[in-house]
Amino acid sequence: MRLTRFIDREAAAPPAGHNVCGVLVHAVPERLEAAKRGLAALPGVEIHQEVADGRLVVTVEDADGVPASLTLSQFPAIEGVVSAALVYHHCETDDLSEEMPS
């Protein structure tokens, strides 16, 4: 459900900056190849690790006018995907006032 809250929040007020999301995707093992093809076809998606039982470690970044939240919202429609859990989110901003002093 954290993923749904993230998608809703980003859609309501997209932040300035660049989003990077770490996502754990569960796919039906027999449909793993279809799920990988569907995920790889989405903008800003990169598959980093896979396990034969259907788990995939994926990153999603904002890509050419397509926010990461919009890409994430398409995961449930991909053949073979059972669930997707947002496990990491970072937003890199251009606002220097938000940087932490060293």
The CATH number of the domain holding residue 46 is: 3.30.70.920
Per-residue confidence (pLDDT) for residue 38, from 0 to 100? 98
Residue 40 domain-assigned (yes or no): yes
Indicate whether 33 belongs to any domain: yes
Q: Is residue 42 part of a domain?
A: yes
In a domain, 52, yes or no: yes
Q: Looking at residue 97, what is its pLDDT?
A: 54
The structural domain count of the chain equals 1
Q: Six-digit token pair at 56?
A: 């995939």
Per the structure, the complete domain to which residue 31 belongs is given by: 4-8+18-93
Question: pLDDT means per 10 residues in the chain (102 residues)?
Answer: 66 74 98 98 97 97 91 96 96 65 50
Residue-level pLDDT at 70 = 93
pLDDT at 35: 98
- How much is the pLDDT for 13? 63
pLDDT of residue 29: 98
Q: How far is CA 75 from CA 17, 33, 35, 47, 89, in A?
A: 22, 15, 9, 13, 16
Q: In this predicted structure, what is the pLDDT of residue 46?
A: 98
Fill in the amino acid letter for 75.
F
